[in-house]
Each structure stands twice: as C-alpha cells, then as structure tokens.
Structure 1
C-alpha cells in the first residue's frame, strides 16, 4: 500500500512539474515573437531621433564645407517636409519649399528643426522690393550660427524658379562670392509686383509664399532706418506644417 501511495505521489509531482515547464516555454516563445514582430521605426521616428541627436551634438552640426553636400543630401532624405509657417506679430506667412532645390530645402528644414529662426528678425525691409529675415541684433544669433556651422550652400538657381512676386530666395555674402553661393541663415521674400528678375541666377529661389502675401505687404510698409532695418523689431518664429 505504501508503495502504491509513493508511486501516485511521484506521478502527481511529475505532472505538475511538466505543466510549469510548458507554461514557461510558451511565455518565452510569446515574448520572442513579440520582439520579432515589433515594427521598424517610422521615417518620422528616425528623423526625430536624428534631430534630437544633433541638438545635443558637441561642436558644429556641419563641421566643414567638405561635408556639407553629403550631410544635407542624407538629411534631406530623412526629413522630407516642404511646408513651413513663418509667424510674426503682423500675422502668419505660409511657405512651400521646392524639392528641386534639395540642398536649400534640407538646410532650411534643418534650421527650423534646430530652432535657429526663433527669436531672429525680419531685419531688412526694402519698400517695394523685399523683406529679409534670419538675422538679429542679439547675442544668441551668432552662437546659434556657430553651433550650426560655418558654410555656404552651392547655388541651385534654375530658370524654372525666377524671382517672381512672393518667392522665397536665399540671401548671399557678396564679398569674394564668385560662385553665387548662398548664406545658410538669411532669406528674403520678393514683395514687388514686378518681381525682382535682375536677381535671377545670382540668388537661389527655393520656395514660395502660399498664404500670407497680405502680411508681406503690410510688413513692407513699416518705418525703417537708413540701413533698411525696421525701427521697431519684427521678431519671427518658424514651425513645420502638416
């Protein structure tokens, strides 16, 4: 009788142990399947991770002129946005960036995502001609420029994008700039109804105003000093649009 009892007890323990091992195996398999089935990061996730990393990068984001083109080319592939809102106290100006000026588009999106433009100004207003932005008289702007990098963007001017009214174009440094390369930080919007076609080829048009030309016209009337700097500062912010 004792022998039968021991055999029965052994069978119960063996069965219980077998069930526990099976459940553990199922759990491990399930966790593994969940890991394997986890979807890859979306392009938006990858772009956000890239920009977060750039914000904490030591030194300049673009370290030299030599790395500029490959950097902006790769950045443009990961950051495909083409619509930006320029915010002023006069109202908003909505911008569309052109895909066929890829270096200028990628650079502009980089500056927006790195918050470069925020608290800079529309620092030049030439009545009947243009409004120009991307600079300021504060200490933070030179620091921001140093963090982004010291470089020029190769000219991407094309006959497909003349300097008509409402276009977004890149400013440039005139001294020893025989290649007509663009400043990475300053832009202008053509206000003149006749356009500004004498600038074709010399400056790169890389976008256009899609909404808010009435705001451009209003800003173009403000009072300025002898250097065409508005007497009352016009601060700007930039944000991406969906």
Structure 2
C-alpha cells in the first residue's frame, strides 16, 4: 500500500512540473512584451539658421542699401529648389546685386521653406514664394515690408529658364520687384512683350527644366493656383 501511495505521489508531482513548463513556454517573455520606446518619431522640419549677420527690419527706403552691403559678405550664386516633383538648380546673376542678395538672404533666413509654387501657367511661367500658411506672414513681418528697385541695365531678355522678380501689380511705373516672390519663365519669346525691360531678371535655371515643365502643367484653379500645393525648400550650393 505504501508503495502504491508513493507511486501516485510521484506521478502527480511530475504532471504539475510539465504543466508549469508548458505554460511558461507559451507565454511571451517580459522582454518581448515591453514597448520599444527607442523607436524614432518623425521629426518636424526645422529651419537651419544660416545667417552670417543679422539685418535690421527692411523697409522700402532702406532695403537696397542694406542688401547691397549684405551681398558683399554673402557672395553665393548657386541654389537648389527642392519639390516633390524633383530638384531645380539655379544660378544667380552678380550684375543684379540687390536681387541676388535679397534671394540669398531669404534662403538663409529660411523664408522659402514651406512656401509654394503658387501660380502655374502652362507655356508661360511658374511663380513661387507665397503660401496661405500663417507662418509665411509671420516670416514677412520679421524680415520687413519692402520692394526691390529694378535692375534692368544689363539688357537681359526673358527666355526659357530665366528667373525674375515678381510684382504686386503689373501697372508699376518704377518696375520695382516684390521682395518675396519670383517666377521662372517657360514660354516662347513672343510672350515676353510685357515682361522685357519691366521685370528684373536675376537668375537662370541650369538644371531641372523638366521639373519646371511638370509643375507648369499641373491642374490649377481659375486663379492659376495648383489644386494640390507644391511645397518648396531652397538651399544654397555655394
């Protein structure tokens, strides 16, 4: 009898051990259950501060002289415009010193980041530098309200890929440029009658005109604003 009782006791103990082991094996370990807190979250786009010198608030009366001085210390002449459709590389002309310096300054201030190509006209132009984001107005308020004096003495004429300062309005007898917006010309030279000697040409596309063509042909509303925003960012190459 004692032998039978001992036998049944050993049998019961063995069964409990097997059950415990099977339970432990089928349960995820504490390590595998732990949430991975080291995974990186998407980072917000941050504007890199590239300023080489702080400028005072620019006004119509002071902008030209301040930017001419700024341009002497900031001689960059090449830039890259990045869009979701590709990249556009441009050259800035030295013989339009105010417009070149203004463009360089706006790039270094991060102004163009998250603005758009906000006007697209097939076989004519694409225009950039504006947006309906509140952040754009805040940037303008920080930099200043001003226009740039015309720089037309070089006699350049609009051709495919030229970059010009836009205007707040066409009937502009002093031909001053809006400080924050520019356009790239695509159209035939026969379409330049109201542009030549009226809009300052301060640059030229050197690479990426296929991207310009793509953007120009995007669907747009009656106001020539693309139906889907074409965000841009701009960086200086040298």
Q: What do the CA deviations read for 1:48-86 (whole angstroms, capped 9, x no partner)?
A: x992552xx7xxx33422221221111000000000100
What residue number does 2:147 align with?
A: 152
Cα offsets for 1:136-160 (capped at 9, x unmatched): 0111111111111111100112453
Contact 2:76 2:236 in 1 (8 A): yes
Aligned: 1:202 with 2:204 = no
**CA distance, structure 2, for counterparts of residue 180 and residue 201 of structure 1:** 9
Task: Tell me the SS of whatever aligns to 2:148.
Answer: coil
Relative to the length of structure 1, the TM-score reads: 0.74
Structure with greater proportional helix content: 1
- Residue 157 of structure 1 contacts residue 204 of structure 1 at CA under 8 Å; is this kept in 2? yes
- The structural deviation recorded for 1:177 is 3.0
List alignment gaps of at least 5 residues for structure 2.
Answer: 1-48
Alignment CA distance shift 1:129-1:150 (3 Å)? same
Q: Which has the higher strand share?
A: 2
Show structure 1 runs of 5+ residues with no match: 1-48
What's the counterpart of residue 51 of structure 2? 51
Structure 2 length-normalised TM? 0.75
| 1:200 alignment partner, SS class | coil
Q: 2:107 aligned with 1:106, yes or no?
A: no
User: Could you tell me how far apart the structure 2 residues matched to 1:91 and 1:158 are?
Assistant: 33
Find 1:80's aligned residue among 66, 75, 81: 75
Superposed structure 1 runs of 4+ greater than 4 Å apart: none
